[in-house]
Amino acid sequence: MSKGRVLMAMSGGIDSTVAAMLLIDEGYELEGVTFRVWDNISQACMEKETGCCNVDAIFEAKAMADHFGFPHQILDIRKHFEETVIENFVSEYISGRTPNPCVVCNSDIKWGEIIKKADELNCEYIATGHYAQILYDNDRYFIKKGKDDTKDQSYFLWSLTQQNLKRTLFPLGELTKTEVREIALNKGFEKLSKKRESQEICFIPDNDYRRFLRERVPDFDKRFGPGNFLDTAGKVLGKHKGYPNYTIGQRKGLEIALGHPMYVAKIHPRTNTVVLGTRDELNSTTFYVENSNLMKIGKVEGEVEVVVKIRYRNKGGLARMTQEGDLLKVEYYNPMDAITPGQSAVFYQNDCLVGGGVIQSVE
């Protein structure tokens, strides 16, 4: 007897394919879906577990579904992807912020579209190849970090709602990447077990976001031309190539010689100025978070102590969090470097996701 119907998001890569294998072994009835979100995607994207696949990857996903005997559909959502993920990516850089497109894609594209399709197909659950776990306690669904610290993807999943989590399965949450490769190999998929991964943004496979902005924004170089580099006291240090070409914490590629390392500390779009500072001047303790979503708790009451990550590879730091109007105020006990507006701040307690949001401003 079937344990239920699952709509499996498939990219053609190893993670989503092994996730499908595990669900079949557990007795679920599967339907497969692959998103078509972007046409100009290279081999690098095909090998990344993002769900946004090129034509070859779509065929690989379909071939896998055929092999295991369950139906597979292609969901063409290029227009929606353009209007959400791409527009957000461009507008954030133009606003002097650094976007996190994977978070936008997860909430608006992956879970937004896949749940609609699941309802159409009468699927009770959806599943992906993410390395994360879902727990339920005190009437709340919340995410726990995946077993494999090197692959844990909980940071990108903070925006999922209670309804999203209630219907989601993460078959790989209690596995390491090595174990996933061993499963693929033992199932007879040697080529799949050795598939390489890429860390680039799926729609920018060469990892050159500056080139992407120039191609997407009319008269980019004229609209966002040279401006002043300033130090933290307001002294002009030299000229930059236009503020969207820089990100907080950047040291390389500044093309300015000052005799000692300097980093991008602040970006001011209105004046087209970029503030440079020393490593110590890059440190901050206090920032504000907008568009927050809470998981493990329903609301922030008083001070809540959490470990806060401000980047995917950031180890995080202990902080206290308070509610101030529509914003969350976060205060690290010890300074953190390169807190970047536009990036995600994600809050943890004992490896469980308390919630997250978008960094609005830094004090």
Separation CA 62–CA 66 (nearest Å): 6
Comparing CA positions, the residue from 274, 272, 253, 255 lying closest to residue 264 is 274
Is-catalytic flag, 123? no
* Helix, strand, coil share (%) of the chain residues, nearest 5: 30, 30, 40
Task: Kindly state the DSSP code that residue 107 receives in the 8-state scheme.
Answer: I
Comparing CA positions, the residue from 138, 126, 139, 202 lying closest to residue 170 is 126
Is-catalytic flag, 105? yes
Measured in whole angstroms, the distance separating CA 173 from the mean position of its chain's CA atoms is 17
Q: Are 308 and 357 in contact (CB under 8 A)?
A: no
Query: 52, 53, 123, 202: which one is catalytic?
Result: 202
Q: Are 144 and 133 in contact (CB under 8 A)?
A: yes
Bridge partners for 41 per DSSP: none
Phi, psi (degrees; rounded to nearest 5) at 69: 80, 30
DSSP letters spanning 36-75:
E--SS--HHHHTSTTSB--HHHHHHHHHHHHHHT--EEEE
Q: At which residue do the structure tokens 């599943």 appear?
A: 127
Separation CA 100–CA 89 (nearest Å): 7
- Find all residues with CB under 8 Å of 276, minimum gap 6, and list them: 229, 230, 231, 232, 237, 254, 256, 258, 262, 263, 264, 265
Q: Looking at this protein, which amino acid is placed at residue 192? A: L
Query: 52, 102, 105, 123: which one is catalytic?
Result: 105
Radius of gyration of the chain (CA): 22
Q: Are 234 and 268 in contact (CB under 8 A)?
A: no
Q: Is residue 363 within a helix (H) or strand (E), and if so which, with residue range?
A: none
Q: How far is CA 173 from CA 20, 79, 92, 280, in A?
A: 13, 31, 32, 38
Instruction: Give the residue numbers annotated as catalytic, written as ranges.
Output: 105, 202
